Structure 1
């Protein structure tokens, strides 16, 4: 693989614009060679002038790139030095509590300070300290990779210059400027990495270095998915595709009654839509990895345990295959000698629930715990600080309302069936359905109010966002009233509740479309030029944004089509709900691309590549103490470097 491609693959996405622009400099060399005076000899004045001018232009460009890289590297080193001092101080407080006599002489002053303040302020939990140290170590490794990649890029571009232009100026410039730059001096960075490893080993791993390094382990950049997961994903995907084709053929070829088909759709639409949504998420993750959208950071997931696209495909394909097996057994139950196929959907759902709630540390345990934690925070939305993952998952729920209701129908059906009630096979909505439909919107409404509170009541955007979900709740309320009172009118449009429902749906659709485009996607920031109606920074091809604008607008209004088709009796009501269900899943699929891209661009603007683990706030006196410790450390390190190297 060529180095330019390798550099693109190994870049930290949030720092992409801070790397040396290798491809641009490489193109400059290529253009210079192509435009060189033909037939000229080195002694020719025209050729000499041409190469001299290009040499000046090229190395001026290299100098600009080197200045940019040096500044960013120095800034990140200083930031890391500050974080290390803070972590060291927090560890020292805990160490002083455990050993009042202090520890090493080099940290005696810090221990003394800790003993004076440990009784005044609560110590950070050990779990949070481990997490903070692990994330800090990851940031150091990223910075080390940044330094290595840029040094290699400068060396290779100078070598390429010498090779293509038959010169030695590239080597001379590299030796004079790059090797003597801030970027080439890694003593401080190496010392911080070593110090972090020793601190974690001594105070967070009870002196066990192997355990410490296992916790601090950073996945290699560009590391491929383990073959076992690739094989499993391919196997289950193939089985699912074959099973899906057979299910499709069987559904239309098996001679069944309309009642049987109605029951089938009511029992299996929820699992089918869930599997469809899972495949959409797997594609989302694959595209994120392809274009460099750091979804792992955005979701605040532990990078060492993150689920990649191939594993997401493996999970979706497995459950998809289980779903196709259940459908085949249900449709062809006579061929499989199954007398009562009603229990098949129950077994399938129970199997999924058992796997998901399995307490054993197998089957993506860390991912399941993360999702359960997020779900718990959503259910208690007003009482917890809202992270991005919290409201993102809650947003997904708003698109899965029909799926959630279908699973409620499933549970209600089996309760009635086991109680031998006559209305067991009726899948009509009740008041519980109205409540369930409101819940996802309520969670987002509560989250928006909580974010408004946490912002110090300064950002009205959260209140405006809350209004969007309030309108959805109003939709459900008017829809429920309209269905309950329709029997009192001879025509659908005689009911005032019908017009109230249509009005609130129109207002809600317009409101949500504008919010999606302006706030969630961050579009319509540029009104002229190539990116008209978009924004300055784009990750995906330009046409994709225009497509999503049209697609999102149309699918936000698909309820109009469903309302018209059902009213004209062109489709059955339950098929109308299927149209709403899958169109909303498709809309959310494309929404996820632009929403995470918008968040990713924000992280890029902040150069944020790792999670910020908040431990405890330092008071002004502690801040001054840390500054003095850092100054002493820098002076000591400078003296050592002077004695050793100069």
Structure 2
């Protein structure tokens, strides 16, 4: 069976299933108004069972929306095939000065099964009618607003392009002014230390935001379907320009805060320490704002995913869930910096003498463990939910268990170092170094073999890579070297701090931005690997699972499908003259 025919057959069954579920829901709301209710619910027990299995309105809307998207994609695929045959035949006739290509096109292509658009067009119309009747209260314009799919070449609205360009330009100018001000002003060492302590977290967050914007832009250019991978609503997906707009806005806001802090005397600001607090408050308010403005869908999606990550053991784990948790493991230093920021203001408002001390405490150790714990719990949950019970999930969990061990040994080593005259006299120092080496080696192998799917080919032009590549070949070799080196950057930090070349705080800055760079390239290959997996599974839309039908309902559904096909055949064969 050809792909188009197979797709239409599967779509026909899905449409019948959705129609049946919508009828069941209406029957539940009005038992006397539906033939399905009278035929299938013969007892109070059966009605209770149907109510228990009934999919929610929200899930039905989502299922109808994704099904409509799949129909449009199938229609586009059908059109693409027709266009390809037409152009091939046209080129044939042009080069050979004949009409044989056009004749063959009319005789075989136009009469082939995949060229028949009647059934697909009817399913699209039926889906629109069902959504209008059952889910939009008869309002067709409202239904089409929910169903309409933007074209693949849909351009970004000019207002977002203008805003992104405006804020990006302001950010670049502000960043240059911040650098000049920091190095040209005669700041006291105490003020410089406080400045770095208060602003490193926001700066690293902005840097990470720009990296994500570049990631998304590259995905769009090379065809990596990140919208499907993250299971985002295609009609309201953020896109590269929206991501750049957000990153540029917060970047510009950070540069304003930095300039106000460094030049507070020129702006007659008596206490500059409140400036980072204002910036933090604005970010939080804009992010959790419940009003449907300012990329509302993207914000709610991210808040939902973050909530699922925080409750990792209790929810089924989707790709977006463990991807966000993986990003957090690279933002540990930034997360700790924001904890320092909150702790600073608590102490500052309490007028404590240790307000300006940014030394780690036991809460820092717990915070450092949290991202690794979330991924550890997710791996165990995925093992529990998987039918195959693959040990890969347990092996992945071990990687994050080692990360937690790193934090524990580092904390013990830091708390007991005063008991020894030399750093390397402490057994906890050697325990920390050992577990870091094991964890780094383990992580490198997992990145290259599992996350990137590399080292599948051992000869030929794709040596050490795999058969299917989306990016230029050189990028993979670069990422192999870059990812391996940055996994061991902690050794450089350890040596530089031990030799007093870097202060411990600056050493953490090196770790922070190195890990952001590593994650930036990791995101390219990880999503490419997931995209290739989806292509191998012929998956182009989200899988929305509604209630499974029992055998009696399956038989009823089959009869409905047969009846629909008979009516369509009668309509097609009916002679009017």
Instruction: State TM-score, norm by structure 1.
Output: 0.87
The answer for the alignment partner of 2:555 in structure 1 is: 624
Contact 2:326 2:375 (C-alpha < 8 Å) held by counterparts: yes
- One of 52, 60, 69 as aligned partner of 1:129: 60
Unaligned runs of 5+ in 2: none
Q: 1:634 to 1:645 in 2, by over 3 A?
A: farther
Between the aligned partners of 1:226 and 1:111, the Cα distance in structure 2 is 50
Cα distance in 2 between the residues matched to 1:227 and 1:111: 54
Distance 1:404 1:193 in 2: 48
Give the CA deviation at 1:118.
3.9
- After TM superposition, give the deviation of residue 343 of structure 1 in Å: 0.8
2:366 maps to which residue? 435
Counterpart for residue 271 of structure 1: 202
Matches of 2:555 and 2:338, distance apart in 1: 58
Which deviates further from its counterpart, 127-136 or 330-339? 330-339
Matched positions, count: 573
CA, structure 1 residues 82+114, in 2 after alignment: closer, same or farther (shift >3 Å)?
farther
Counterpart in the other structure of 1:95: 26
Give 2:401's aligned residue: 470
Measure how far apart 1:636 and its partner are: 2.6
SS at match of 2:48: coil
Which is further off, 475-484 or 124-133? 124-133
Q: Quote the residue 1:173 is aligned against.
A: 104
Q: How does 1:498-513 map to 2 (within 5 A)?
A: 498-513=429-444
For 1:112, which of 17, 39, 42 is the aligned residue? 39
Matched-pair contact (CA < 8 Å) for 1:92–1:111: no
Q: How does 1:141-540 map to 2 (within 5 A)?
A: 141-456=72-387, 458-540=389-471
Residues 213 and 563 (structure 1), Cα distance of their counterparts in 2 relative to 1, 3 Å cut? same
Asked if the contact 2:375–2:400 (Cα under 8 Å) also holds between the matched residues in 1, the reply is yes
1:99 Cα deviation after fit: 2.9
Q: Deviations over 1:475-503 (max 9, x none)?
A: 00000000000000000000000000000
Q: Alignment partner of 2:406: what SS?
A: helix
In the TM superposition, what is the alpha-carbon distance from 1:203 to its structure 2 partner? 1.0
Shift in Å, 1:645: 9.6
SS of residue paired to 2:261:
helix
Q: Which residue of 2 aligns with 1:22?
A: none
Secondary structure in structure 2 of the residue aligned to 1:342: helix
CA RMSD, 1 decimal: 1.5
Q: 1:192 & 1:221 partners in 2: Cα distance? A: 21
SS of 1:385's partner is coil
Cα separation, 1, equivalents of 2:2 and 2:424: 68
**Alpha-carbon distance in 2 for matches of 1:480, 1:75:** 59
**Which runs of no fewer than 5 residues in structure 1 stay unpaired?**
1-69
The 8 Å contact of residues 282 and 310 in structure 1, kept in 2 or not, is answered as yes
Retained in 1: the 8 A contact 2:168–2:245? Answer: yes
Distance 1:541 1:624 in 2: 52
1:633 Cα deviation (Å)?
Answer: 2.0
Equivalent in the alignment of 2:565: 634
- Deviation larger for 582-591 or 246-255: 246-255
Out of 583, 608, 611, the position equivalent to 2:542 is: 611
Deviation at 1:205? 1.0
Provide TM-score, normalisation by structure 2.
0.97
The answer as to whether partners of 2:24 and 2:36 remain within 8 angstroms in 1 is no
Q: Report the Cα distance in structure 2 between the residues aligned to 1:610 and 1:505, rounded to whole angstroms.
A: 41
1:544 aligns with 2:475: yes
- Note the C-alpha offset of 1:631: 2.4
**How much does 1:627 deviate?**
2.2
Q: For residues 505 and 145 of structure 1, what CA distance do their matches in structure 2 show?
A: 51
Give the distance between the partners of 2:126 and 2:33, measured in 1 at CA.
18
Contact 2:23 2:36 in 1 (8 A): no
Structure 2 residue 498 is matched with structure 1 residue 567: yes
Partner in structure 1 of residue 522 of structure 2: 591
**Distance (Å, rounded) in 2 between the aligned partners of 1:77 and 1:625:** 20
